[in-house]
Chain A
């Protein structure tokens, strides 16, 4: 903790894909392994760090998550857990996808895990045809092949089209 308090005054600037700049305390940015590695490899904190794959709306969410976790680290886990579930509660699929991509890019493991879990919860009751649409997967089965795969796993399809 001592080191993060020491660094509390240091700030760095992150720039989203749509050009918005975010001033971030360093200990918050350190939640991201990507940013941590950049800082360790001597990037000056005065520089603006561009994040070309992340839009402003998503970046704001990511930084909200990081701030909560940076400030709360070593404090109550239960509080963080309820923050996490509240954080994702009403988020739509599009935002979730952007978030999971950003977490992956910025290497924020906790966020990646909860966002992936949330997406899994959202898609698990959807028919596989809809899952195909969501992930833009092209159906490369012939109808016969698909029927065969379905038959192999017939019990899992009870109640599904």
Chain B
């Protein structure tokens, strides 16, 4: 019985290991990190099919955190935090490696993540990119927005998937007239933009995706200028099926609590808040039943976050073995804070690209490509976007 520890010849292996049915192979593949899975596409055509995963059966249980510099710079890099907490650099998407795609001074930002696809906002185009398969394609032209607005795009704020129409939708904010702003929703399927009036605008940061809906922490109406103001008192969500914004029930308001971040933990919408006088105890809540006010539950409190500056955002990012929270926009801090649930202790992941401004997002791994491409449908405007299509 000790042969497993010694050198085993191939013939011994062949006689020794029983055949396993495909359902068990799938169980095993489910447990593998995506990088290893990609390599095993070379095993056979059948394995390649399994690891292309059209019904998302392998994808759905995976989660990763992508970290990118906020703005393009020569040392621009992308990293992800794996399930085991290790940090790995991932290659940049091919089209963006060509200098021609990025004008000098142009910026590259993560505009959203959905189903493992990353929406990248270069200065003039929006790309959809799957970092784990290399799939990358230009999906929308920002230029088209000029039909509706004379001013440029202000913020690409989220990507979501509308399963009813099999369409990915991009939510952006643009200037509208002298003082106003408008929300533009772009459809990757029809390559068109729709204008929405936006009752909630206040320099909206990147969004949080739960149940196909995009969520933002905002200031109601147009009170105040500060995005982190004490009046940040509302969660709104965008419903892709209706193209409408609706309010999300909030936990009961308590005087002096500042909401410092909105994120996702274990599939639930999650809110972090701190007490205004101290700024260093962070309470993290989750909405256990989506849409039900009573289901907001305190998950834990992180005491004495000494790093915290009151304008920092502290966004519940993901659970791996420990809790990971992200900082954004910290003037001093370039790190991701990890909170150990069991040990009740803090740890800090340095941000590998040393960027002062980071974007990060936590979504599931997947092998998705854009449905338009996958289903081979042809749309009228596709040719306009076709010149730089690259599929790795």
Contacts and interface: CB of A to CB of B under 8 A. Distances in A.
Contacts of B21: 104
A153 B392 CA distance: 9
B23 interface: yes
Given A116-B28, A117-B31, A134-B13, A149 B20 contact: no
B204 interface: no
Interface stretch (B41-49, B186-194, B283-291): B41-49
Contact of A146 (B36, B42, B134): B42
Contacts of B90: 155
Interface string A50-71: 0000000000000000000000
A133 B13 contact: yes
Interface stretch (B1-9, B253-261, B355-363): B1-9
A158 to B, nearest CB: 9
B40 interface: yes
* 10 closest A-B pairs by CB: A92-B4, A120-B31, A156-B38, A116-B27, A153-B38, A124-B36, A128-B42, A156-B39, A117-B31, A94-B16
Contact of B42 (A104, A119, A134, A149): A149
A140 B28 contact: no
Contacts of B31: 116-117, 119-121
Interface residues of B, number: 42
Between B2, B19, B36, the greatest number of chain A beta carbons within 10 A of the residue's beta carbon is seen for: B36
B388 interface: no
Given A120-B32, A140-B44, A134 B17 contact: yes
B31 to A, nearest CB: 4
A137 interface: yes
Contacts of A141: 42, 44-45
B91 A155 contact: yes
Interface string A120-156: 1101110010011111111111000010011011011
A22 interface: no
B30 interface: yes
B19 A136 contact: yes
A85 to B, nearest CB: 14
Contacts of A152: 41, 133-134, 392
A113 interface: yes
Contacts of B392: 152
B75 interface: no
B39 A136 contact: no
Contacts of B33: 124
A49 interface: no
A143 to B, nearest CB: 11
B25 interface: yes
A135 B20 contact: yes
Nearest to B391: A152
A157 B39 contact: yes
Given A133-B13, A153-B38, A139 B44 contact: yes
Given A93-B17, A97-B18, A116-B28, A138 B42 contact: no
15 contacts: A90-B5, A92-B2, A97-B20, A101-B18, A113-B27, A116-B24, A120-B32, A123-B28, A128-B42, A133-B10, A140-B46, A150-B42, A152-B41, A152-B133, A152-B392
A98 interface: yes
Contacts of B16: 93-94
Contacts, number: 113
Contact of B48 (A98, A116, A124, A149): A149
Given A132-B44, A156-B39, A119 B28 contact: yes
A10 to B, nearest CB: 31
A91 B30 CA distance: 21
Given A98-B18, A101-B20, A124-B33, A93 B4 contact: yes
B287 to A, nearest CB: 26
Interface in A67-101: 90-95, 97-98, 100-101
Between A98, A112, A124, the greatest number of chain B beta carbons within 10 A of the residue's beta carbon is seen for: A124
B14 interface: yes
Given A93-B4, A116-B31, 18 more contacts: A91-B4, A92-B3, A92-B4, A94-B3, A94-B18, A104-B21, A116-B27, A119-B31, A131-B40, A133-B10, A135-B43, A136-B17, A141-B42, A152-B133, A152-B392, A153-B38, A156-B36, A156-B39
A48 B48 CA distance: 43
A141 B47 CA distance: 11
A123 B65 CA distance: 24
A153 B41 CA distance: 8
Interface in B213-227: none
Contacts of A133: 10, 13-14
B343 interface: no
Between A95, A117, A120, A141, the greatest number of chain B beta carbons within 10 A of the residue's beta carbon is seen for: A120
A135 to B, nearest CB: 7
Contacts of B48: 149
B190 to A, nearest CB: 29
